[in-house]
Amino acid sequence: MIRPIVHARLCSLRTSRRAIFTPYARRAFSNAHARKEDPRLQDIGRSLKDEYAVVRDEYDTPKHTVVLAHGLLGFDELRLAGQFLPGIQYWRGIKDALAEKGIEVIVAAVPASGSIEARAMRLAEDIAQKAQGKAVNIIAGTEVVLDNRTQLNDCSGLDSRYMISRLKPGNVRVLSLTTIATPHRGSAFADYMFDTIGPRQIRRLYRIMEYFGLETEAFSQLTRTYMKEEFNPKTPDVEGIKYYSYGASLEPSSWSVFALSHSIIKQREGGINDGLVSVASSQWGDYKGTLVGVSHLDLINWTNRLKWFFWELTGSKRNFNAVAFYLDIADMLAKEGL
């Protein structure tokens, strides 16, 4: 169901993008300059710049099963050519790396779209079926960017929070939830999309999505107003469950897929972000720190290897390895006794 959406150009900016892509939006921002001028950077917690550049030799193994939950429009495995070719793994290399360290891993499968409530119900059912009563630690990942016009925020952290707090499934025992670049307080880019596209075009987009069998409720749930006034007040943390979170910051070049969304969030929220979610919105529970120079695609190991090849040719070193990052999360869970 993903491929037709690309052709339908979901959230298309064909006309509006040229109009609003101002010189300010094209500007590439400097990390060094931002650190000197922006006092809000004191709120980013621990700055994680090179900690996950390479995989270490040793990682502790958590006692309990790890559940990997994908974001909005994500999938566990996508097969574009049926059984004739290998499927595309959402968690590219991450699941296998965790398993090689002796960690029991469950990849949760939930609808690619739909309301937080519907996805949370499916998440609970999937964990109950696959975990068979075992206690689990949930790691909620990010979304997929389908093309340079289709950018959607992570929802799996919100699905998990709703499941834990509101559904309270008796056959699912959650010990911890770790969210990665989740818009716990909504996203200014979601606000922008609704403001720019307008009600008439929104209805048209929804009809296109529904034609391809996708539900549409989740998109309006990512706005800052909805999160502030509806979701967060009604979805408190559950005592006894540990909540961890990470954010990410990116200063994209003018030709980056995240250039437009980054500038919009920076203008509207006034803080650093990873191109889709601000650091302030990512923070929930025990905030473990901000990944510096890391995009949403980097976070799920979808970054083009060619990018790093040319990056290293310039004399720069690779500063982030998603496999090392997830192994370190597992190591953190182990050290917490989970």
SS3 content of the chain, % helix, strand, coil (to 5): 45, 15, 45
pLDDT of residue 17: 39
Segments of the chain with pLDDT less than 50: 1-42, 72-89, 144-153, 211-213, 216, 304, 306
For tokens 């790396």, name the residue.
Answer: 97
pLDDT of residue 30: 34
pLDDT of residue 312: 54
Which tens digit of pLDDT belongs to each residue from 76-127? 343 333 444 444 445 567 888 999 999 999 988 777 667 889 889 999 999 9
CB 55 within 8 A of CB 324: yes
pLDDT of residue 175: 98
Distance of CA 229 to the CA centre of its chain: 22
**CA-angle at 95, arms to 90 and 98, nearest 5°:** 155
pLDDT of residue 148: 36
The pair of three-digit structure tokens given for residue 43, joined into one six-digit string: 């709120």
CB 70 within 8 A of CB 110: yes
* Superfamily holding 2-335: Alpha/Beta hydrolase fold, catalytic domain (3.40.50.1820)
pLDDT of residue 246: 95
pLDDT of residue 103: 94
Rounded CA gap, 64 and 177, in Å?
Answer: 13
pLDDT of residue 261: 87
Which tens digit of pLDDT belongs to each residue from 200-227? 666 665 565 554 445 546 667 888 999 9
Across-strand partners of 147?
A: 150
For the entire predicted model, the pTM comes to: 0.77
The pair of three-digit structure tokens given for residue 297, joined into one six-digit string: 């695609």
pLDDT of residue 138: 97
Amino acid letter for position 325: F
Residue 38 half-sphere exposure toward CB, CA atoms < 13 A: 19
pLDDT of residue 36: 39
pLDDT of residue 16: 39
Strands (E), the chain: 47-48, 65-69, 77-78, 88-89, 105-107, 135-140, 173-180, 242-249, 286-292
pLDDT of residue 271: 82
